[in-house]
Amino acid sequence: MIHIAHATEYLQSFNFEDTWDAATQYQDGDVVTYGGYTYVSKSLHTNKIPAYNLASDWDIITTGFNVVGTWNNSTDYINSIGFDFIEEHEKILISRMNERLSELDWVDLHGPTSNKGSIFSFSLRNEIHPHDVSSILDQKGIAIRTGTHCAQPLMDFLGLKASCRASLAIYNTVEEIDKFIEGLISCKKIFNL
C-alpha cells in the first residue's frame, strides 16, 4: 500500500519541465543501462551522477502509469480483506520465517529479526553468490530477488557485493515458507556448506 501511495503522489507532483532541465545538466560520464532504466552507481563518498544524453533517454515517468491504472483494483482488494487480516497474516508469516531461518546457522540475515517487516535480506556463508542461490530456488518454483536492491552504500558498509531477498505478503502461505527453507537446504547440499 505504501509503495502505491508514494508512486501516485510522485506522479501527481511530477513536473516535466523541471525534469527536462535537470536531465540536460547531466551529459558527461558513463552510464550502464539495464532494462530501459538508467543505472547510477552511488556511494557514500561521492554524489556524482554519471550519465549520458539523459535529456533524451529518460523514461522515468512511463513506468508509473501502470500504478495509476491499478490503484482502484488494489484498494478494493485490500479493503475487501481488511487491514487487520493483512496485519495478522503477515505477523504469522514473519514469525514462521524468523523461526525457520534461525535453524539455519549457515545463513546470514542482514537486519533485525524482531520488530521488522516482511522482507528478509540474507546471504549464504562462504560467499555463495546470490544469483546462484536464486537460480537454484527458481528451479524449485521459488522466486527471490538478488542484487544490491538499490542500496549500494549499505552493501558497501556490510561488505557485500549483493544479497538475496525474500519478501512475504498477503498471498503467501506458511507452507511456502517451508518450501523456501527446503530450497535453501538444497543450496546447502549443492555448495557443501
CA-nearest of 95, 125, 96 to 110 is: 125
Looking at this protein, which amino acid is placed at residue 156?
D
> 50 near 27, Cβ under 8 Å?
no
Task: List, by residue range, all CATH 3.90.1150.10 domains of the chain.
Answer: 82-191
CATH class for domain 82-191?
alpha beta
For residue 72, the 8-state DSSP code is: H
Number of neighbouring beta carbons within 10 Å of residue 151: 16
Please identify which residue in the block is written with the cell numbers 491504472: 69
Average pLDDT of span 6-26: 42
Please identify which residue in the block is written with the cell numbers 487480516: 85
Q: Positive or negative, the Cα torsion across 28, 29, 30, 35?
A: negative
pLDDT digits (tens, 9 = 90+) for 157-189: 888 889 999 999 999 999 999 999 999 999 999
**H or E segment and range at residue 166:** strand 163-167
**Residue 164 annotated in active site:** no
Confidence check: pLDDT of 63 > 70: no
Distance CA 86, CA 148 (A): 28
Which one of 16, 72, 114, 150 is the catalytic residue? 150
Angle at 131 between CA 138 and CA 101, to 5 degrees: 70
Q: State residue 114's pLDDT score.
A: 76
User: Cα 141 to chain center, whole Å?
Assistant: 18
pLDDT-derived band at 10 (thresholds 50, 70, 90) equals very low
Please identify which residue in the block is written with the cell numbers 511456502: 176
> 193 near 124, Cβ under 8 Å?
yes
For residue 113, the 8-state DSSP code is: S
Q: State residue 90's pLDDT score.
A: 94
Distance CA 33, CA 82 (A): 40
> 142 near 184, Cβ under 8 Å?
no
> 166 near 100, Cβ under 8 Å?
no
Average pLDDT of span 62-73: 66
